[in-house]
A and B are shown apart, each in its own frame.
Chain A
Amino acid sequence: MTGTGSLLKVGNMKKLSVKELYELKKKDLSLSLITHPNTMQGYITTSFLNRPGLALTGYFDRFEYSRIQIFGETEISYLQSLKEEVLYNNIKEALVYDIPAIIITKGLSVPKQIEFLANEMMIPIFSSRLSTDKLFNSLRIYLQSVFAESKTIHGTLIDVFGVGILLTGKSGIGKSECALELVERGQRLITDDVVKITSKDDILVGCATNNYGHFMEVRGIGLIDVAKMFGIQAVRMKKRIDVQIELMPWKDNMDYERIGLSNNSVDILGNKIPIIYLPISPGKNVAVIIEVVAMNHISKLFGYDAAKEYTNKLQEDLKRKAVVRENQIEKKE
């Protein structure tokens, strides 16, 4: 598992300190610090990276200085082609900006003036043995996970036939008991009671907030360990969330979905997923219904929508019968 470091949150903006990044990722990204350790003082505030390119020629419009700057072979060979004086001036101008860190790829050697200036201006330079492409990819993936939006909600997350079902509803309505029955039927529990949801590349991923294991509270019994009790096949660490099911007590006058043509959805961290309001009443086997929800979801993904299928057939039937009726009336006349 990759740690996300001690992430500071200032207002809505997340920051990752350069020191933290170095400590956590120096092995994965094969990083070594070239400048003085004191230079590592800044914070990274975005998951984007930048190739400075034109900024090195002295063109600073739209220079994304707040991103980590990646120097590849192109940058280094360009800098080496410059006269010493020009190089010195251009770099000095660039380093005036508040750059969190510079990473040189492929273990390329850094012109001495750059190292000197970076130490002066307190901007850390790292050298990585990875190729530019590889470094770009790995660093982006890591930073995206650090800066991904997340929140925790009260609910239970279960993998039902590969469909991530987020069970919500008031305390005591039976989310845990329902999850337990699903587990017994061969489905897999991700976490009970508190789900940490992260939004990444337009998908929602849910996991537990801690790594204590798959514990669950069952009213009247207390805590149980689902993985110990049902085996390792009954649990998993994280899962994409596909559908939310809100369990609610049955009310006579409530407007429940009857056909399934209207698709209700809920917004979680800017991602829309379908939501189903499921009334529960004594004697109802909720676990089976949840399996049906999952299978129906898969079925829709494969392009088959039972509600549409039925209502289309009905509509065709109505049209045909209306025509027959009209013809009969005309004949009589």
Chain B
Amino acid sequence: MIRKTIKIVNKLGMHARPATMIVKAATKYRSEFKIVKSDMEINGKSIMGVMTLAAEFGSELELVADGVDEEFLIKEITEMFANKFGED
């Protein structure tokens, strides 16, 4: 199991488009994927789950992956956050 804390660096926060990107990327992997925000823990492969987090600019999330390809999953998702989902 890998746990990694990341910060939302894109101004708009995790709105519909980034949420879709994350879910689509995560579903490619076989590992289980959870995202934790304070007391909320959701399935990172569920679009409603990810949007329910309503993670705003500056907030912190914990990514939790568990499975055979957990490293790759975390790597891809982390990069997405760092690249601000292609936004400013």
Contacts and interface: CB of A to CB of B under 8 A. Distances in A.
B28 A259 contact: no
Interface in B38-64: 47, 51, 54-59
Interface in B17-42: 17, 19-20, 23-24, 27-28
B13 A318 contact: yes
Interface string B5-25: 000000111111101100110
A321 B24 contact: no
Interface stretch (A94-102, A234-242, A288-296, A309-317): A309-317
A157 B11 CA distance: 46
A253 interface: yes
B54 A314 contact: yes
Interface of B: 11-17, 19-20, 23-24, 27-28, 47, 51, 54-59
A259 to B, nearest CB: 5
Nearest to A307: B16
Interface residues of A, number: 19
Interface of A: 252-253, 255, 258-259, 261, 307, 310-311, 314-315, 317-319, 321-322, 325-326, 329
Contact of B58 (A255, A314, A325): A325
Contact of B15 (A255, A307, A311, A325): A311
Contacts of B59: 321, 325
B58 A322 contact: yes
Contacts of B55: 318
Contacts of B14: 318
Contact of A321 (B16, B17, B28, B56): B56
29 contacts: A253-B28, A258-B23, A258-B24, A259-B19, A259-B20, A261-B16, A261-B17, A307-B16, A311-B15, A311-B51, A314-B15, A314-B51, A315-B16, A317-B56, A318-B12, A318-B13, A318-B14, A318-B15, A318-B54, A318-B55, A318-B56, A318-B57, A321-B54, A322-B11, A322-B58, A325-B56, A325-B57, A325-B58, A329-B58
